[in-house]
Each structure stands twice: as C-alpha cells, then as structure tokens.
Structure 1
C-alpha cells in the first residue's frame, strides 16, 4: 500500500514513533439489485491487499484535506466509483496500530456514508494496489467479519433508512 509522501517525510524525522493521523471510512450504499420486497441495501467493499480482509473504503487525509473530500477521493482511487458525501456516521479513535514495517500510529477516523454520483448500478474495478478485489454486496450477506466494520455499515444503513432519527456515533464501541 502506498504511504502518503507527507508520512514518509515525517517518518524520516521520527522513525517508528507513534503518529496521530486523521483518517476516513467511506461506506457507499445503493439500493439492492434484487427486486424482492425483502431486499436490503448493497454496500461497496474492498478486499485489502495488506491483510486480505473485506472492509469499507478507508484512507488517510492529506494535510489540509477535508474528511468528505478524502472519502470521495479514496473511493474513486480504490474502486473507480465516483461518489458524493451523504451523511456523517460518526467519529472515533482507532489504534494504536503497529504496521508491518514497525511504524506506530493511531487514527482519528471519521466515518461517512457516500452515495454513487451517477449510475448507481455501475460496476466497480480495482483502482490501485491497496485492494485485490472490489464489489457490491448485500448487507445481509457481506463478507465483512470485523465487528467494527459491520457496526459502521449497520450505522450507514440505519442513517439511510431513518436520517432524522439517526445520531452520529461518538467512538466506535457498541451502543447500549
């Protein structure tokens, strides 16, 4: 996975010491391609090249870049799908994480729901080396196993269905 240049330059100065970084999680939903009355939305997922896990799109904000701009940029870079921001899902700390190269980081992750900008039934394609597969999946049958990602995707579906009743999550722990 490419490391942003500003991180490469900072790492020259601090080595593997902990860094605090702004990041995004982009959850892209669309209506189901199944026309049954029990159909649920579909979510755009990537199979990460670093760990083989299926997740929503994630990325690090460039210096001075707004979170929603990062989410739209990362989605297009990783899946070739153009999107637009729809809603804030929540904000929370992730980490600390020790990466394979020894770098330590913690992330302030901003989770956003995005919508496809254009034809919602366009097919995604792997757009960079951060993913090995991309695709649309019914949220009822998605290959996501990490509870944190399943929670964020569930929040996106709840916000989409009942936007006025939705409260963005503060932290990524389960709600009581």
Structure 2
C-alpha cells in the first residue's frame, strides 16, 4: 500500500524511527451477522477493514471512508467499540505505534468487492467460519460483537497486541 504524502514527509525526516499514527478499524456486519474482511495486498493476510486517518479528518469520517474505499460497501456506525494501541514494524523497518479507534458498523449499501490496490480479495464471513486473522483483529472483533460490552479501553500496562 503506498504511503500518503503526509507519511512520506514524516519518514523523510525521521527515517524508520517510531511514529504514532491515529488509525481506525471497522467491524462491519451484514443482515446475516457476517463480518466483512479483506485480504491485504501487502501481507496476504485476512484482516478487518482499517486505515490511517488523514490530517484534519474525524475518526467517524475516516472509518466510513476506509470501508468504502477498500470494499465499495457503505456503512453506518452503530457504536464506538473501543480504543487501544498496537505496535507495527513494517518489512522495510519502519516502526509505528497505531492508536486505533475501532467501530462496530452495519452495511447499508453496496456490494463487497475489491475496490482499490490494498486488497487481493474481499468477502463476508460467518463468525464461526472466518479465515485466520491476527490476535489484534480477534480482540477487536470479540469486543465489537458483544452487544452488552461498554467501549473497550486497554488497561494501564496492557499490551501484547
């Protein structure tokens, strides 16, 4: 996935050193209770729909944009499911800490399809028959699917994502 001009400019200044980025993730459900996933083009792994916020963008706007950009599905936000951070080191050595706001969303229009270069495949999956996803994505999914759960916030010192 190509980096935005914003990220390229930051990386030109700091190299591979740690940068914190605000990010969003969407746990998108359809009327059958299936979850929308995409197969990432950079790693080949199945994942929730997610991405970095653009400068000046609100988290809710970012999650709506990311889902439509990556999958051609339009969603409505049902609730903020939580906020937590996780570290990523990319194959080129760039180190990031993503501060992620994750939202439970409902599909309202569009047919799921590969809609940009970030995905190899896109599809709806029953919760009990999903492809392998990362432990981080599993955590977000379990929180978002619990109808009675309050928004999740990592406790002080909690890590491991």
Alignment TM-score > 0.5, same fold: yes
Contact 1:144-1:150 at 8 Å conserved across structures: no
Structure with higher Rg: it is 1
Match in the other structure for 1:19? 19
Match in the other structure for 1:80? 72
Pairwise CA distance, 1:154:
2.0
Match in the other structure for 1:156? 144
Match in the other structure for 1:47? 39
After superposition, the CA RMSD in angstroms is 1.7
The runs of 4+ residues in structure 1 deviating greater than 4 Å are none
Secondary structure in structure 1 of the residue aligned to 2:39: strand
Secondary structure in structure 2 of the residue aligned to 1:155: helix
Structure 1: tracts of 5 or more residues without a match: 33-40, 160-164
Match of 1:98 among 67, 70, 89: 89
Secondary structure in structure 2 of the residue aligned to 1:16: coil
Report the TM-score, using the length of structure 1 for normalisation: 0.83
Secondary structure in structure 1 of the residue aligned to 2:129: coil
Match in the other structure for 1:146? 134
Kindly indicate whether residue 154 of structure 2 is the aligned counterpart of residue 171 of structure 1: yes
Match of 2:118 among 111, 130, 134: 130
Contact 1:123-1:135 at 8 Å conserved across structures: no
Kindly indicate whether residue 55 of structure 2 is the aligned counterpart of residue 58 of structure 1: no
Report the TM-score, using the length of structure 2 for normalisation: 0.90
**Number of residue equivalences:** 157
Kindly indicate whether residue 102 of structure 2 is the aligned counterpart of residue 114 of structure 1: no
How far apart are the structure 2 equivalents of 1:10 and 1:157?
36
Structure 2: tracts of 5 or more residues without a match: none
Pairwise CA distance, 1:55:
1.0
